[in-house]
Structure 1
Amino acid sequence: MRSYRRRRLLVPVLLCAFAVLAARPTAAGRQPGSGTLGDLGLSAEVVRLYEEAAAATQQYEAGRREAEEQRARARRAEELLDRQRRHIAALDEDLGRIARAQYRGSGGLPVAAQMILADSPEDLMRGHHAFSQADLAVNNAIAKSRRAEARLAADEAEAAAQWQVLEQRNSQLAALKAGIERKLEKARSQLQGQADASVAAGACRGAVRLEQPETDLTDAWVAPVETYELSASYGSGGSRWARRHTGQDFAVPIGTPVRAVGAGRVVRVSCGGAFGIEIVLKHEGGYYTQYAHLASVTVDQGEHVSPGQWIGQSGSTGNSTGPHLHFEARITPQTGSAVNPVSWLEERGVSL
C-alpha cells in the first residue's frame, strides 16, 4: 500500500522535470542576442580591465600633480641656493675690503706692529681701538660667511634630496603609465575583437550588464559621451558615405561608455552592415537616436533607459576607419530620416 502511494507521487515529479528540461533552450537554439556564458565572461573581464585602467589613470594623474609640486619645490630650493651663493660672494668681497682698508690705514704696517711702535699712551689707545674695531669687523664677516656656507651646504643637501625624490617619482610614474597603456590596449583589443566576431556572424552576443556609475544628473538630456572630440559632422562629404554624412561623429577610444542622451526605449539592437553594432532609441515626441560602430551593448531591445544611462561601449565596427561613436537624431527608426543632431541637442539644452 505504501509502495503504491510512492509511485503515485513519483509520476508527477518526473513529468515536471521533463517539462523543465524541454523548456530550457539548447546551445544551438539560442536567440541572436542571448549570448553564451563564455562571451559574457569575456565581456565582463574587458569591463573590469577598463575600470582598473581608469583607476590607474587617476593614480597617475595624482602622482603627476605630486611630481609637479615636487619639481616646484626643487626649483625654489635652487633659487635659494643661487641667492646664498651671491651672499657668500658679497661677504668674501667685504673681507677683502676690510683687509685692504687695514693695510692702507697703517701705512702698510699691521695694526699690532703700530701698537708696539706707539710713541705715546694716546697713540697706543688709538691703535688698540683700531685693532679692536678691525678685529670685530673681521670676526663678524667671518661668522656671517660661515653661517652662509652652513646654510648653503644644508640647502644643497635638501635640493639634492628633493631632486632624488622627484626622479624616483618620475620613474614610478613612467612605470605606472606603461602599465596603464598595456592594460588599456589589452582591454580595447579584446573588446574590439569580440565585436568584430559578432559583426562577422551578424548576430549580437547580448547585453553586458555594466555596473552603472552613481551620478547626480538632473538634466533631461545629455551628450552621448562624457569626454570627446568632434570629428565628422552632419552633412559633410566624403568617399565613405553614399551621399552626405548623416550624423555627428565623436572621436573616443574603444570601450568608452556610451550614454542615452535622454529617456527612451530601445527599439533596435543589431550587429552587421555599415553601422556595425548599433542601438536605436525612441524618445518622447516621436524622435529617435542612433548609436553606431559600437564594441558592445549593455541593453536589450525593449528596455527603457534613463538620461545618461550607459547603453554600450564605443568601438570601430562596420564601415569605420577608426574608433568613434556615430550619433544620429531621426524622425523614424530607419536610415534616411536624420536631422542635424547638433542642432537637435542644442534645442534640448545640450551644447557640444
Structure 2
Amino acid sequence: MLLCAAAVLALLPTAAEGDDGQPGAPGDAAISAQVARLYEDAAVATQQYEMGRLEAEAQRARAERFEALLARARRRVEVLRADLGLIARAQYREGGGLPYTAQMLLSDDPEGMMRGQRAGRQADLTFSNAVARGRRAEKRLAVREARTAAAWRELERRRAELAEIKRNIQERLEEAQWMLQGQADAAVAAGSCRGAVRLDQPDTGSVGDWAAPVETYELSAGFGSGGDRWASRHTGQDFAVPIGTPVRAVGEGHVVKVSCGGAFGIEVVVQHADGYYTQYAHLAAVTVDQGERVAPGQWIGQSGTSGNSTGPHLHFEVRVTPELGSGIDPVPWLLRHGVRL
C-alpha cells in the first residue's frame, strides 16, 4: 500500500501544464483535471492510511494479549517457586537435616515414611516440571513480545509515511483548488464563460436513475432559510463541499443554461423528462456545454465559491421553470425519486 501511495504521489505533475500539455501557465483543463485527480489520490491515500491504522490497532491488541499471557505465566512461576520453598522448609523441619537412612531408622512408621518420601519426590518432580514449563513459556512469550514490539514500531513508521504522503497531496490539492477558483472568479468578473472542461467521467453504471448532486457532503442552508445573505428566503439546498468537488447531474436530461455572471456565479441548469429543472450554482468550472445531454451521476461541473457565496459549497435548486423564483424544496423532491439526503 505504501509503495502504491508513493507511486501515486510521484506521478503527480510537479509543475502546472497548459492546455497543450507543455509546462507553463496552467490552462483551465489542466487545473480542473489536476484537482479531480488529486481528489482521487487523496481518497486513496486516506483509505490506505485508515487501513494502516486498523492494522496497527489489531497489532496493539495482539501485543496486549501477549503481555497478559506473559504476566500470567510469571505469576504461575512465582506461585510454584513459593510452593517449592514451603516444601523445602517443611522437609528440613520434619527431617531435622538428618540423612534419609537415619530418618528411616528413627521413624516409628518406616513404611509410611517411604510412601511419604515417594510422594514427596513425585511432588518435587511435578513442581520442577511445572517450573521448567513456566520458564519455557516465559521465554516464548518474551520472544513474541519483542516481535510484537518490533512490528508495532514498523507499523508506526508506515503510518507516519502514509500520513506524510496524504499531507503532501492535501497541500497540492489546496493550491490547485484556489488556482481553479481564481480562474472562476476571473471568468465571473469578465462575464464570459470559459467553456466546458472535459474530465474523465466516472463509471455511472451503478448510479441508478437518480443520484445526489455530490457524493460526499454536509448539508448547510436549506430551502426557505432566512438571513441577510438572500433578498427574501433561500431558494435551494446547499451542500458544503470543498472547491473542485465533482458535481453530478441528479438525473437524465439536457443542459438548457450555462451562465457565468450574477449572484449565482458559474451555474448550470438541466431540464429533466418530468418537466422539472435542476440548477447547480457557485461552481468553479463546468464540464458540459449548453444543449448537451447528460446522464444520471455524470460530472457536469466542479464546486466552488463563485458569485454571491461566503464559502465553498454547491447551491442546488429544483424548479418548475428554468428561471429563478420557481423553486421548490429539493429534499422531498429528491426523496420522491429515491434519493435520501
TM class by shorter chain equals: 0.7 to 0.9
Hey, what does 2:228 align to over in structure 1?
239
Any residues of structure 2 matched to 1:272-311 within 5 Å, and which? 272-311=261-300
Aligned match for 1:50, one of 39, 50, 63: 39
* Structure 1: gaps of 5 or more residues: 1-35
Code of the aligned partner of 1:86 = R
| 1:238 Cα offset (Å) | 0.9
- CA distance in structure 1 between the aligned counterparts of 2:101 and 2:153, rounded to whole angstroms: 56
Label 1:134 to 1:50 Cα distance change in 2 as closer, same or farther (>3 A): closer
Hey, what does 1:115 align to over in structure 2?
101
| 1:231 Cα offset (Å) | 0.9
- Tell me whether 127-136 or 150-159 shows the greater mean CA deviation: 127-136
Hey, what does 1:76 align to over in structure 2?
65
Root-mean-square deviation over aligned CA pairs:
2.6
Hey, what does 2:256 align to over in structure 1?
267
Are the counterparts in 2 of residues 115 and 123 from structure 1 also a CA contact under 8 Å?
Answer: no
Aligned match for 1:335, one of 308, 324, 327: 324
* Structure 2: gaps of 5 or more residues: 1-24
Hey, what does 2:49 align to over in structure 1?
60
Are the counterparts in 1 of residues 218 and 239 from structure 2 also a CA contact under 8 Å?
Answer: yes
| 1:224 Cα offset (Å) | 0.7
The question of 1:226 aligning with 2:179 is answered no
| 1:225 Cα offset (Å) | 1.0
| 1:117 Cα offset (Å) | 5.2
| 1:277 Cα offset (Å) | 1.0
Larger radius of gyration: 1
- CA distance in structure 1 between the aligned counterparts of 2:106 and 2:235, rounded to whole angstroms: 112
Aligned match for 1:171, one of 155, 160, 165: 160
Any residues of structure 2 matched to 1:82-101 within 5 Å, and which? 82-101=71-90
- Tell me whether 258-267 or 43-52 shows the greater mean CA deviation: 43-52
Please state whether the residue corresponding to 1:119 is helix, strand or coil.
Answer: helix
| 1:137 Cα offset (Å) | 4.1
The question of 1:149 aligning with 2:138 is answered yes
Label 1:267 to 1:146 Cα distance change in 2 as closer, same or farther (>3 A): same
| 1:180 Cα offset (Å) | 3.1
Label 1:283 to 1:192 Cα distance change in 2 as closer, same or farther (>3 A): same
Are the counterparts in 1 of residues 42 and 166 from structure 2 also a CA contact under 8 Å?
Answer: no
Label 1:53 to 1:186 Cα distance change in 2 as closer, same or farther (>3 A): farther
| 1:221 Cα offset (Å) | 1.6
- CA distance in structure 1 between the aligned counterparts of 2:212 and 2:310, rounded to whole angstroms: 22
Label 1:142 to 1:70 Cα distance change in 2 as closer, same or farther (>3 A): closer
Please state whether the residue corresponding to 2:247 is helix, strand or coil.
Answer: strand
Query: Normalised by the size of structure 2, how large is the TM-score?
Result: 0.83
| 1:271 Cα offset (Å) | 1.2
| 1:51 Cα offset (Å) | 3.0
Hey, what does 1:5 align to over in structure 2?
none
- CA distance in structure 1 between the aligned counterparts of 2:331 and 2:234, rounded to whole angstroms: 13
Identity of aligned residues (%): 64
Hey, what does 1:345 align to over in structure 2?
334
